[in-house]
Amino acid sequence: MGNYEQARENYKEFGVDTDLAIKALLKIKISMNCWQGDDIVGFDGGRPLSGGIQVTGNYPGRARNPEELMADMDKAFSLIPGKHKVNLHAIYPLFPAGVSVDRDKLEPSCFKAWTDYAKDRGLGLDFNPTYFSHPKASGFTLASPDPATRLFWVDHGKVCLRITDFFAAETGQESLMNVWVPDGCKDIPGDRTGPRMRLLDSMDQIIKEPHDAEKAFVSLESKVFGIGVESYTVGSGELALLYAASRGIVPLLDNGHYHPTEMVSDKIPAVMLFFDRMALHVTRPVRWDSDHVIRFDDETREIAKEVIAAGPERFFIGTDYFDGSINRVAAWVIGMRNLQKSLLMALLIPSKRFCELQDEGKLTELFVQQEEFKTMPFGAVWDQLCREAEVPESRDWYKEIETYEKDVLRKRG
């Protein structure tokens, strides 16, 4: 009996069908963040990063243009089981030679090459307005007290929603536009309410832009604090969540955007009692919102358990991290595969039995079974999934990364 056949029998003893778990995992789409590949430089002028965002490291091979970024993503997707999505920021337009427009004048045509790319590969597309790394983002953006500055960024949000609608129509898949702004104060503000009122009004204008609400969705992302806005963040957790509830948009939880003692895995089941859909940005915070590459760690696994429990079809799941200190293509593959491993492990848990033990007050037995389940032959099931998806299993994928680095990345200078 092979490793997988033995593992299948082991799980069957607990009423778990590993074949069905594999099939279910391969249906779950994850939106891979394009900005890991080029350190969030983008293609609209390569301005210095702002808005409290930092990318550390100078590992060779950063993508310098659309062709290199797409080639690197192709390599990553070839090593990741299943068909997924690409998460784009508005700083990645593909202008014709000699042509450029500012962010408030972007059009769907600026991103047609991305829809062509996605359709050729059977991928979906998600989108994010870019409210940082711009001369008009040196202060507040959607919460700006200056009417002209605020109008610029409202118009940017509107065109981004039109682009999101275009993505959904072109790919035939749902598309999410996620709004995050770095607005806030380094020290104690004189007015906490005014900026928030302006942010709400700006968002109200943006979401009224005509779009297919059955295919193109909007979310608002919160943050506890950031570099330069340590004392006051306009888009706080309470504001973003209540705005989503009151306006009928999608709540988005980023597990790096809360206090280190707050667990998004615990927030998910509470929030999902009040929403039909939810969006997640999965990352790995180290002490704060540091956006490290996702590991197969406790909180990632707990988040995955809640996604599976609530129904994965109700979620927009995206990765959000950036690390320039290691091979950037490998970073994509590591993070995506670790998130998939977490989801697969959640699918292999005898959840019904665990719930019964909790309800029956058999907490000792629950504790024991939860711990013993950690040593079930999960690796054999993961390897089988990789074989069925026709991607390298276990550590074999890294050999292809080493070859790609030698043949492609190192030659970029």
Residues 256-270 have pLDDT tens digits of 999 989 999 999 999
397 part of a folded domain: no
- pLDDT (0 to 100) of residue 2: 76
End-to-end CA distance of the chain: 49
252 has which bridge partners?
221, 279
CA 164 to the chain's CA centroid:
16
Q: What are the angstrom distances between the C-alpha of 305 and each of 247, 268, 297, 372, 394?
A: 28, 10, 12, 17, 22
Residue 1: predicted pLDDT: 55
Q: Which of 289, 306, 383, 405 is catalytic?
A: 289
DSSP H or E stretch at residue 247 = helix 237-247
pLDDT band at 76 (very low <50, low <70, confident <90, very high): very high
- Known catalytic residue: 215? no
* 11 dihedral zone (left: phi>0; alpha: psi -120 to 50; beta): alpha
b/e sequence 237-255, b meaning 16+ C-beta within 10 Å: bebbbebbeeeebbbbbbb
Q: What is the mean pLDDT of residues 161-174?
A: 98
Residue where the block lists tokens 């079809």 = 313
Partners of 85 in the β-ladder: 31, 124
From 35, 114, 180, 332, the catalytic residue = 180
Residue 162 lies in a domain: yes
**CA angle 316–322–324, rounded 5-degree value:** 160
pLDDT tens per residue across span 320-378:
999 999 999 999 999 999 999 999 999 999 989 999 989 999 999 999 999 988 899 99
CA dihedral 353, 357, 360, 364 (to 10 degrees): 170
- Residues above pLDDT 90, as percent of the chain: 86
pLDDT at 65 over 70: yes
Residue 17 annotated as catalytic:
no
Q: Ranked by mean pLDDT, which of 17-31, 89-103, 287-301, 387-401 comes out on top?
A: 17-31
Query: For the chain, what is the domain count?
Result: 1
- Can you read off the two tokens belonging to residue 334? 């590591």
The values of phi and psi at residue 328, to 5°, are -70, -35
CA distances from 31 to 88, 149, 245, 250 (A): 9, 31, 24, 16
Instruction: Please give the mean pLDDT across all residues of the chain.
Output: 94
Residue 321 lies in a domain: yes
Residues 6+ apart with CB under 8 A from 386: 81, 392, 393, 394
Q: In the prediction, which pLDDT does 136 show? A: 92
The pLDDT assigned to 230 comes to: 87
User: 390 in a domain, yes or no?
Assistant: no
Q: Is 180 a catalytic residue?
A: yes
Residue 109 Cα to chain centre, angstroms: 24
Please indicate whether residue 281 is annotated as part of the active site.
yes
Within a domain: 167: yes
| Residue 409 counted as domain residue | no
Q: Which residue has the tokens 């999934």?
A: 385
The interaxial angle of helices 237-247 and 193-207, nearest 10 deg, is 40
Q: Which of 84, 223, 267, 341 is catalytic?
A: 223
Instruction: Determine which one of 254, 299, 302, 383 is catalytic.
Output: 254
Q: Is 320 a catalytic residue?
A: yes
Provide the pLDDT for residue 189.
94
What pLDDT is stored for residue 112 in this prediction? 96
Token pair 């007050």 in the structure block, residue: 361
The backbone region for 171, taken as left when phi is positive above 0, alpha when psi lies in -120 to 50, beta otherwise, is alpha
Position 396, amino acid: D
Q: Catalytic: which of 165, 291, 306, 405?
A: 291
Q: Could you tell me the two tokens for 273?
A: 């009692």
pLDDT reported for residue 87: 98
**Is pLDDT at 40 greater than 90 in this prediction?**
no
Q: State the catalytic residue, choosing from 257, 267, 305, 341.
A: 257
Can 104 be counted among the known catalytic residues?
A: no
Task: Determine the Cα–Cα distance for residues 62 and 270; give it in Å rounded to an integer.
Answer: 40
Asked if the structure places residue 10 within a domain, the reply is no
Whether 134 is catalytic: no
d(CA 395, CA 404): 15
Q: How distant is the alpha carbon of residue 19 from its chain centre?
A: 27
Catalytic, 297? Answer no
Concerning whether 38 is annotated as a catalytic residue, the answer is no
Would you say residue 94 lies in a domain? Answer: yes
Read off the CATH number of the domain in which 96 is found. Answer: 3.20.20.150
- Is the pLDDT at 89 greater than 90? The verdict is yes
Per-residue pLDDT band for 99 (boundaries 50, 70, 90) equals: confident
Each residue's pLDDT tens digit, 205-232:
999 999 999 999 999 999 988 888 889 9
277 is in which domain, residue-wise? 19-347
